[in-house]
Structure 1
Amino acid sequence: MRRTDPNDPSSISREIKTHVGILGGIVGLLWLIEIIDVFLGGRLNFYGIIPRTSIGLRGILFAPFLHSNFAHLISNTIPFITLGWFVMLRETSDFFLVSAIVAIASGVGVWLFGSAGIHLGASGVIFGYFGFLLSRAYFERSALAVALSLAVALLYGGLIWGVLPTRIGISWEGHLFGFVGGIVAARWLSKRR
């Protein structure tokens, strides 16, 4: 991806349109999948992660796109857009790389260590963005990374409790391994720079 020239308003405008298109497209896809799932009587949810089963492995790929109901999807939509956009701010390509790393880390962690049942939802990815944005300041030590880390801590600092088994029916394992995946992604991207 091309870097945005901060002195060129049209370049910044193009970059923002790209961000809106990517995030809007993904959120639109999530909502479309949930609408289809409602018409199918929730059958798509069986494509989530089922820990320690061979069929549950497919959920590593599909689980971030599936939600148990509209309330679940609504609770994930705003943090996904906000934190996803923060991940994109330096380079749009970071978003795709971080998304892949945290989705795989969250999915594999849930498959290996998750409690019985079907695990699904984008929250593992959201916690991965959270971990990435918080830890990026430590690894990069740039003014932008520190400012973003502080903003994320102020806006979403309460998320940290989601990595603990505090509520029944919430895949805290997905949150925890997504968060760890975000730290790994921050470390890896800072080394590449």
Structure 2
Amino acid sequence: ECELGFDKAIFDLTQITDQISSNSNQEVTYFETENDAHENRNQIINPNNYTNLYLTQEIFVRVSNSNCFDVFSFKIITTPCQVEVFNVVTPDGDGLNDTFIVSGLYNIYDKHKMYIFNRYGQKVWEGNNISGRWDGTSNTGLLHSNDILPTGTYFYVLELNEPNTKPQAGYVYLR
């Protein structure tokens, strides 16, 4: 499943119930540890809306009937979601697009770095999870003034700083 933020995702563990057992006389229950599954304690209460504990986690399934039981396991894996870039910034104070919005960035890629360049390739802004979103001002370079930059097309480079991810680049229009 796709990470919702802070290494967490919501899984529907019951999606595999039919693959585990097609016998209506059997009960299928889910557990976080193998020992709990064998002892039939600490069952996952809401397996169709389960929030993971770890990025890769083993889940244990107990299949039982009135006479016996067996325990199986499978792994759930949380992967980073794709970020979505909204490439228009209108910092006019109306509450709409006042900052450069990249959905899924701040909660999921908390080690990211972003750079904004003007059309001449000069870096005018750099930020990260702590500094917050770009609001159309300059915080670095020759144009550093904390004033709104001129209307025009700017370019961003986004380094997510996570394994197996490549930097992303594109444009953003400041109006």
TM-score by length of 1: 0.24
Give the structure with the higher percent helix. 1
Greater RCO, CA 8 A, separation 6+: 1
Give the structure with the higher percent strand. 2
